């Protein structure tokens, strides 16, 4: 019977630290099965009632874990019942009985069981008694600081720094959702946009204009200028309009594609959200944004080409 190697964690975003865990799980499997075990909903949603905004959907997390080396993904429903299991009971029910683990891989800050009473020392003791190998993966560092979902979230939400976030993720930060009907102001301004319908649980970068790549199911990839914010140009002071994520696809002149799935990969933040003297000034800035998008994406491709050659 082949070995079963379990990588255990929340894995929000599947960043470089998570990938290091998957690499360790693949090595521990010795050609056997690698099972990535994650939780839904986020444990903090149950434990504290306040979950952090997520870096990807569960569907994206599943696909990213498989791409990182997992043979399959096991999603544990995180419930109040699971939250109060003592460490020993969680270990016995899931790692021993359900998953029949031969090895378990966690990060060195891993905690588990009721009130996070178990740590890596607890895990090593319980696993040793059950004949399970334990692999503790040190935190991945970047710029002298640990790579974490919290750090990436801060870069996106507080700074809109999608470039630094991409370095920690090992990929472009991405938002995916169906194209929904918006206010349709873009077409009156001569610049149609695709409005993404996004779950309220997702982390959306700081308001502003970004250069990115949009992928529309059935249509392909397009360079895109992406606007995130509340469109303050068209609202009175004191209004509380909802935020939106709108992508203008450069060079696309085809029919509308409402209902299609659109993914936007963020490359660079160009500017913050602003209010202009009038609509003409806004349109002039939008045209500058398109030029800035073209230049930013061209520069990014040149940098990527040089990195590939070197």
Q: Tens-digit pLDDT profile for the chain (310 aa)?
A: 689 999 999 999 999 999 999 999 999 999 999 999 999 999 999 999 999 999 999 999 999 999 999 999 999 999 999 999 999 999 999 999 999 999 999 999 999 999 999 999 999 999 999 999 999 999 999 999 999 999 999 999 999 999 999 999 999 999 999 999 876 665 666 688 999 999 999 999 999 999 999 999 999 999 999 999 987 655 555 555 678 999 999 989 899 999 999 999 999 999 998 888 788 888 899 999 999 999 999 999 998 888 777 5
Domain at 173-309, CATH from 3.30.830.10, 3.40.50.150, 3.40.50.300, 2.40.30.30? 2.40.30.30
Neighbours of 158 (CB within 10 A): 10
The pLDDT assigned to 236 comes to: 52
Which pLDDT value is given to residue 101?
97
Q: Give pLDDT, residue 183.
A: 64
Quote the DSSP letter at residue 116: G
Residues of the chain with CATH 2.40.30.30: 173-309
* DSSP letter (8 states) at residue 266: E
- The Cα 179–Cα 260 span in angstroms is 6
- The bridge status of strand 141-142 relative to strand 145-146 is antiparallel
Place of tokens 């890596």: 120
Residue 242 has φ and ψ, to the nearest 5°, of -75, 150
Q: Are residues 228 and 181 in contact, defined by beta-carbon separation less than 8 angstroms?
A: no
pTM of the predicted structure, to 2 decimals = 0.93
Tokens linked to 57 = 């959907």
* Per-residue confidence (pLDDT) for residue 186, from 0 to 100: 57
Report pLDDT for 235. 57
Query: Where along the chain do the CATH 3.40.50.620 domains lie?
Result: 4-145
Going by CATH, does the domain composed of 4-145 fall within 3.40.50.620?
yes
Question: Distance (Å, rounded) from C-alpha 67 to C-alpha 62?
Answer: 9
Of 71, 79, 63, 83, the C-alpha closest to 13 is 63
C-alpha span between 5 and 101 (Å, rounded): 6
């Amino acid at each position: 019977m082949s070995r079963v190697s379990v990588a255990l964690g929340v894995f929000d975003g599947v960043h470089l630290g998570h990938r290091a865990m998957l690499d360790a799980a693949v090595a521990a499997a010795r050609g056997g099965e690698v099972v990535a075990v994650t939780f839904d909903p986020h444990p903090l949603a149950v434990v504290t009632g306040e979950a952090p905004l997520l870096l990807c959907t569960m569907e994206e997390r599943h696909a990213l874990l498989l791409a990182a080396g997992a043979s399959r993904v096991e999603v544990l429903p995180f419930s109040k019942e699971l939250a109060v299991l003592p460490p020993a009971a969680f270990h016995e029910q899931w790692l021993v009985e359900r998953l029949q683990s031969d090895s378990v891989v966690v990060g060195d800050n891993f905690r588990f069981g009721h009130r996070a009473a178990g740590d890596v020392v607890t895990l090593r003791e319980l696993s040793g008694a059950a004949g399970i190998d334990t692999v503790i993966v040190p935190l991945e560092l970047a710029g002298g600081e640990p790579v974490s979902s919290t750090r990436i979230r801060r870069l996106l939400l507080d700074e809109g720094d999608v470039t630094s976030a991409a370095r920690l993720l090992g990929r472009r930060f991405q938002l995916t959702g169906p194209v929904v009907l918006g206010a349709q102001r873009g077409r009156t301004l001569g610049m149609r946009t695709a409005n993404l319908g996004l779950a309220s649980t997702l982390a959306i970068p700081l308001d502003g204009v970004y250069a990115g790549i949009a992928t529309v199911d059935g249509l392909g990839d397009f360079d895109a200028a992406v606007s995130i914010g509340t469109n303050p140009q068209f609202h009175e002071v004191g209004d509380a309009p909802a935020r939106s994520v709108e992508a203008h696809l450069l060079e696309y002149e085809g029919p509308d594609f409402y209902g299609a799935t659109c993914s936007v990969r963020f490359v660079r933040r160009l500017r913050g959200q602003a209010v202009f003297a009038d609509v003409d000034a806004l349109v002039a800035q939008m045209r500058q944004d398109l030029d800035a998008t073209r230049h930013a994406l061209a520069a990014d491709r040149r940098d990527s080409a040089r990195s590939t050659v070197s």
